[in-house]
Amino acid sequence: MHTNVVHISELNKSFGVKQVLFDLSLQVGEGEMVALIGSSGSGKSTLLRHLPGLISGDGARRTGEENSVGQDLSRASLAGMARAPSLSSSHSPPHLAPLSFLSRPFSSPAASPAIPSYASTASRVEVLGRSIQCGGRLSRNVRQHRSGIGYIFQQFNLVGRMSVIGNVLLGSLGRIPRWRGVCGFFSAAERRQAFEALERVGMAKYAWRRASTLSGGQQQRVAIARALTQRAKIILADEPVASLDPESARKVMDLLAEINAQDKTTVLVSLHQVEYARRYCPRTIALKEGRIHYDGPTHVLSDMRLAGIYGAEISTIDRQRNDDADNAIDEISLKCHSGITYEFLRAASSF
Ligand SMILES: Nc1ncnc2c1ncn2[C@@H]1O[C@H](COP(=O)(O)OP(=O)(O)O)[C@@H](O)[C@H]1O
Ligand SMILES: [Mg+2]
């Protein structure tokens, strides 16, 4: 059994009036390499950005909303409490609903204890055993907690005017006094580690080049070297190969897989290309319109299920498939939808 490195429960996220993540709960165990797939706009980046606390989830759930199995959780959780009117109520226009919510007194004495406990479990995110956020509030020590979390962006996010080695050294900022980072004072050992990380990703010969002069694939490998220098225990990679040619993409995915296998670093990687999930990630989480549509072994993802995830985008999906595996395990994967946990699937697949 893996120790959980990521623990998300009941994560909801809205931008203004538009809710984009709905009641997401999931765990990722230590040393797993997990693909996060889903069509454009399904919420992959939004979900990933919650893990280091780059954004915060919604606070307590709004009443009247349903979870993924259609159960009105607000009703269950708020039992015994004066019911606030639904924000989506047809009786009041949405722009007035928050005001009516505030003006309504909680008249039932049984209501008071229910409020804090309900709010405190909403949108909870823990990474590496530390609370990142809860109830829409970032943890006070979130910056400290981020030091073990490597983040790789689709658009590389290197400082273009800085040398490659300078960018990699930024990975050690979480471990050194702030003044040293500001002044650029790095010890010989820190510089050596940065060079070793560059060697590992095959970029040592570019150490003194300006980062902006590198190709996309090279920049992404430097970003991985920065995560290595950071000694990240988990790497979150948001579509790291989406802007790369196939050869560069393969090198980047090979590196992530190697770091996962050799260092036991947990990797959660969002991918638009399902073939990379199939080749590199034993487990896949699929998002559809902000909800978890599938969470289980990648090798049982059938074309039919992918069609359900991607809809019209199915034509872009790699269609290499193993019919036997699809059929044999289809029953198990269907059960996954009805709430059986991934741990169960993992145990079942080892029989
Ligand atoms: N900062 C933002 N402000 C408003 N809407 C946003 C913001 N970020 C993302 N969204 C919306 O959230 C939804 C999910 O987006 P995103 O997480 O980027 O999806 P994906 O990464 O799967 O393509 C989209 O509808 C997008 O328009
Ligand atoms: Mg995205």
Taking the CA atoms of the chain, what radius of gyration do you get in angstroms? 22
Using a 10 angstrom Cβ sphere, with 0-12 exposed, 13-18 middle and 19 or more buried, the burial of residue 229 is buried
Among the atoms of ligand 1, which is closest to the Cα of residue 39? Answer: 22
Among the atoms of ligand 1, which is closest to the Cα of residue 239? Answer: 21
Among the atoms of ligand 1, which is closest to the Cα of residue 238? Answer: 21
227: left (phi over 0), alpha (psi -120 to 50) or beta: alpha
What's the confidence (pLDDT) of residue 160? 94
> What is the CA(198)–ligand 1 centre distance, in A?
33
Per the CB < 8 A criterion, the answer to whether 136 and 128 are in contact is: no
Digit-by-digit pLDDT tens for the chain (351 residues) are 568 999 999 999 999 999 999 999 999 999 999 999 999 999 999 999 999 999 999 986 544 444 333 333 333 333 323 333 333 333 333 333 333 333 333 333 333 333 334 445 689 999 999 999 999 999 999 988 998 999 999 988 899 999 999 999 999 988 888 888 778 889 999 999 999 999 999 999 999 999 999 999 999 999 999 999 999 999 999 999 999 999 999 999 999 999 999 999 999 999 988 899 999 999 999 999 999 999 999 998 877 778 888 875 554 444 433 333 333 222 222 222 222 222 322 332 322
Sequence-separated (6 or more) residues with CB below 8 Å from residue 309:
37, 38, 39, 286, 288, 293, 294
Distances (CA, A) of 312 to 243, 290, 317: 22, 17, 10
Return the sign of the alpha-carbon dihedral for residues 299, 232, 56, 82: positive
What is the SS3 assignment for 267? strand
What's the confidence (pLDDT) of residue 121? 64
DSSP string, 311-337: GGGGGGS-----HHHHHHHHHHHHHHH
**pTM, rounded to two decimals:** 0.75
Count CB atoms within 10 A of the CB of residue 143.
12
What is the distance of C-alpha 10 from the center of its chain?
14
Pairing of strands 234-238, 149-152: parallel
> What is the CA(8)–ligand 1 centre distance, in A?
19
What's the confidence (pLDDT) of residue 313? 59
> What is the CA(299)–ligand 1 centre distance, in A?
28
Which residues surround ligand 1 with Cβ inside 6 Å?
15, 20, 38, 40-46
What's the confidence (pLDDT) of residue 220? 96
Q: What's the rounded Cα separation, in Å, for the pair 291 and 285?
A: 10
What residues have a C-beta under 5 A from ligand 2, the ion? 44-45
22-28: long-range contacts, CB 8 A cutoff, minimum separation 24 = 22/65, 22/67, 22/68, 22/290, 22/291, 23/61, 23/65, 23/67, 23/68, 23/73, 23/291, 24/290, 24/291, 24/292, 25/292, 26/285, 26/292, 26/295, 27/342, 28/4, 28/234, 28/266, 28/268
> What is the CA(293)–ligand 1 centre distance, in A?
17
Q: What's the rounded Cα separation, in Å, for the pair 240 and 209?
A: 22
What's the confidence (pLDDT) of residue 138? 95
> What is the CA(292)–ligand 1 centre distance, in A?
16
What is the SS3 assignment for 41? coil
What is the SS3 assignment for 344? helix
Residue 129 DSSP label: T
Quote the tokens at residue 75.
């009703």
Sequence-separated (6 or more) residues with CB below 8 Å from residue 66:
72, 73
Return the sign of the alpha-carbon dihedral for residues 115, 117, 118, 121: positive
What's the confidence (pLDDT) of residue 120? 52
**Amino acid identity, residue 132?**
I
Domains of the chain, each with CATH number or no CATH: 4-62+122-349 (3.40.50.300)
Quote the Cα angle for 256-257-258, to 5°. 90
